[in-house]
Amino acid sequence: MEAYINGIGIISPQKTFGTSDFLSEVVEHNSKYLACIEPSYKEFLNPTLARRMARIIKMSIAASTICFKDARVEMPDAIMTGTALGCLEDTEKFLWAIIHNDEQFLTPTSFIQSTHNTVSAQIALQLKCMNYNFTYVHKGFSFESAVLDALMTLAEGEAKNILIGGHDEMTDKYYRVCDRIGYWKAEENVPTMELVNSKTNGSIAGEGAAFFILSKDKSETSYAKLRGIKTIYKPENNQEIEMKITELLASNGLTANDIDVVVYGNNGDVRFDKTYNHLQNNLLKNSTSTYFKHLCGEYQTAGSFAMWIAAKIIKTQTIPSAILIGENKSKQIKNALIYNTFLDIDHSVYLLSQY
């Protein structure tokens, strides 16, 4: 099972759209959480429609539009998105109205847009795309499920171009609630480049909307080849993780020594460093190590941001210094792995290669 990544559209807390620059400049956010840098939506949506839409829907439609253009694809043969929290802003809005108006005088708009499948549905609606349409909502496996589904669908033979996406938004209220259970750092305004060195509990919250066209055939817009993905639920020990990684590599005729770069999900929370540290010092010790969550923040579908990074590294054959851990050991970058976990419960590993 494999696919070419033929197009990308990504809206994130960094400058990731409307530029070919690859993280040469890092945007520092002096705020509680890393919020996306949003485009002007005029070029993506008619203003009447845009006014009624929540931020995450607008960001996702814009990111998917950029992605279609990038891939030179107009109509996907399938749409699969991953989102752990769905349309949080609308969910909170409707919930707030129920509580404060004692279940009276409610209007349907925020309820309608609160369902988790709103984004994939809206993309289908805008395109009049009647093809296969799925929304995955499994915490740290949401985007990963969409990736696996796309790989299976391409292998099944009929689809040529598939749109996949990962999207989650942060809100002030959700930030506060998760802060109360220790998700985020107590220290304020940890500098971006210092996050992973903080040695304290908690991460920094983030959000994003990243879309990809996965295709059967390579094209002049191709970035890289996606060769497989594995999810690992509550791994019992590092051996289990190494075994799963080795399995994924072996099924593609590779060993750990073939991996030039690894993109790790280090999020600055000292409690979750152990897996990443172990891999960096053992199975994947010969590969160049990079990380990304200081740039996009922690969220359940952050794997989609990592997939953008890995695809960009392979396409441009460069590793921006802002993501490097230690030294750059790679001359040519043929194979890249992404290793990520959300809360040390949902682990995932992706394999990408030069085509």
Partner 1 sequence: MNDKIYITGLGVISAIGTNVAESLLSLENLKSGIGTLENVRSRHQDNVPVGEVKFTNEQLTAMAGLTPDKQSTRTGLLGLLAAQEAVKSSGITNIKEFKTGIISATSVGGMGMTENLWLDYLDPEKSGDWLKHIEAHECGDSTEFIADVLGVKDFLSTISTACSSSANSIMLGARLIKHGILDRVIVGGTDSMARFTINGFMTLMILDKEQCKPFDANRQGLNLGEGAGFIVIESEKAAAGKEILAELSGYGNSNDAYHQTASSPDGAGAYLAMEKAFKVSGLKPSDIDYINAHGTGTAINDMSEGTAIDRLFNKNVPCISSTKAYTGHTLGACAAIEAVFSILAIQNNEIFPNLNFKTQMEELSFKPTTTLEKNKKIDHVLSNSFGFGGNTSALIFSRHKTI
Residues found near partner 1 in the complex (CB under 8 A): 1, 79, 84-86, 94-95, 98-99, 102-104, 106-108, 111-118, 120-122, 124-125, 127-139, 141-142, 145, 148-149, 152, 155-156, 173, 176-178, 180-181, 231, 233-234, 300, 345-346
CB-wise, 145 or 222, nearer to partner 1?
A: 145
Task: Tell the smallest beta-carbon distance from residue 344 to partner 1 (Å).
Answer: 13
Contact by Cβ (8 Å): 159, 60: no
CB-wise, 87 or 311, nearer to partner 1?
A: 87
Task: Tell the smallest beta-carbon distance from residue 283 to partner 1 (Å).
Answer: 21
CB-wise, 200 or 233, nearer to partner 1?
A: 233
Which residues have CB under 8 Å from 48's CB, separation 6+?
none
CB-wise, 102 or 220, nearer to partner 1?
A: 102
Task: Tell the smallest beta-carbon distance from residue 8 to partner 1 (Å).
Answer: 23
* Length in residues, the chain: 355
Quick count: other Cβ atoms within 10 Å of Cβ 326?
Answer: 9
Closest residue by Cα to residue 264 from 317, 205, 352, 324: 324
Task: Tell the smallest beta-carbon distance from residue 139 to partner 1 (Å).
Answer: 4
CB-wise, 178 or 325, nearer to partner 1?
A: 178
The partner residues of 209 in beta bridges, in order of sequence, read 11, 167
d(Cα 285, Cα 337) in Å, to the nearest integer? 13
Which residues have CB under 8 Å from 305's CB, separation 6+?
10, 12, 166, 208, 210, 292, 295, 296
CB-wise, 110 or 280, nearer to partner 1?
A: 110
Task: Tell the smallest beta-carbon distance from residue 343 to partner 1 (Å).
Answer: 9
CB-wise, 87 or 254, nearer to partner 1?
A: 87
Task: Tell the smallest beta-carbon distance from residue 52 to partner 1 (Å).
Answer: 10
Element (H, E) at 17: none
d(Cα 50, Cα 303) in Å, to the nearest integer? 27
Element (H, E) at 176: helix 172-180
Task: Tell the smallest beta-carbon distance from residue 199 to partner 1 (Å).
Answer: 24
C-alpha distances in Å from residue 238, one per residue of 21, 232, 283: 36, 11, 10
Task: Tell the smallest beta-carbon distance from residue 180 to partner 1 (Å).
Answer: 5
Q: What share of the chain is helix, strand, coil (3-state, %, to 5)?
A: 40, 20, 40
Quick count: other Cβ atoms within 10 Å of Cβ 141?
Answer: 25
CB-wise, 324 or 343, nearer to partner 1?
A: 343
Quick count: other Cβ atoms within 10 Å of Cβ 91?
Answer: 20
